[in-house]
Amino acid sequence: MTKPTPPKETVNEEVQWDKTKIIVSKTDVFGTILYTNDVFCEACEYDKLELIGEPHNVIRHPDMPKIAFKALWEALKKGNNYHAIIKNRTKTGKYYWVITDFTIDKNSTGEITGYTGRRKAVPDGVVKKIKPLYETLLQIEKLKGEKASELYFHAYLNEEIGMSYDDFVVNLFEKEVALNEQQQENTSKNENNTLKKKLEWFFFSKYE
């Protein structure tokens, strides 16, 4: 089997991928990759044959705090769907940020057989807001240990956000997408107004 070769170094450069598309992967209950779509391969730069049968942490980025994945697995093991904002690392060490919608796969008797992750690109505003939290969690993890990072994570959500991590990231994503759409609408309105003014000037100046 073709084994993936994770990068030796991390490159501070975003990988180019088609951000209008959805990145999909499926795993068994242990997080072993069973399926990826072509967009997944395009984003992470690994070949499908390198990924199938490998642990999903093959694309784990060292900037991600451990608590982010601990909280994910706790939710999944309880049978709860979940959302997370994740920075992934590609085969050449580059990165890409996504919001992932995790769902539970069950067989006909209701037993959990695995999980599916569907990812969308996130607007820059989302990254700007989540990055400082992840940096703090990672620093605490390195200096004071995983437990301290976990306790800070829950206290931060309680004291500063007032909602679960899942609700927090979904709200953040939806707010930033709406803001981007509004800005685009305003830009095209301004462009239309400028064009209208130019045309008015053209028509009026002709008959003066």
Ligand X SMILES: Cc1cc2nc3c(=O)[nH]c(=O)nc-3n(C[C@H](O)[C@H](O)[C@H](O)COP(=O)(O)O)c2cc1C
- Chain residues binding ligand X by CB under 6 A are 25, 27, 31, 56-57, 59-60, 69, 86, 88, 102, 115-117
Q: Which C-beta is closer to ligand X: that of 117 or that of 123? A: 117
Q: Which is nearer to ligand X, 6 or 125 (CB)?
A: 6
Q: Which helix (H) or strand (E) holds 89?
A: strand 82-89
Cβ-based nearer residue to ligand X, 105 or 180 = 105
Q: How far apart are CA 39 and CA 17, in angstroms?
A: 8
Question: What is the nearest approach in angstroms of ligand X to the Cβ of residue 102?
Answer: 6
**Encoding tokens for residue 110?**
């209701």
Measured from the CB atom, the residue of 69 and 156 that comes closer to ligand X is 69
Q: Is 130 exposed, middle or buried (0-12, 13-18, 19+ CB in 10 A)?
A: buried
Least gap, CB of 2 to ligand X (angstroms): 20
CB of 98 to ligand X, least distance (A): 7
Measured from the CB atom, is 60 or 129 closer to ligand X? Answer: 60
Q: Which helix (H) or strand (E) holds 112?
A: strand 112-121
Q: How far is the CB of 90 from ligand X (least distance, A)?
A: 11
Minimum Å distance from CB 89 to ligand X? Answer: 8
Number of other residues whose CB lies within 10 A of the CB of residue 193: 10
Whole-angstrom CA distances from 22 to 54, 121, 122, 131, 200 are 21, 8, 11, 22, 44
d(CA 23, CA 39): 5
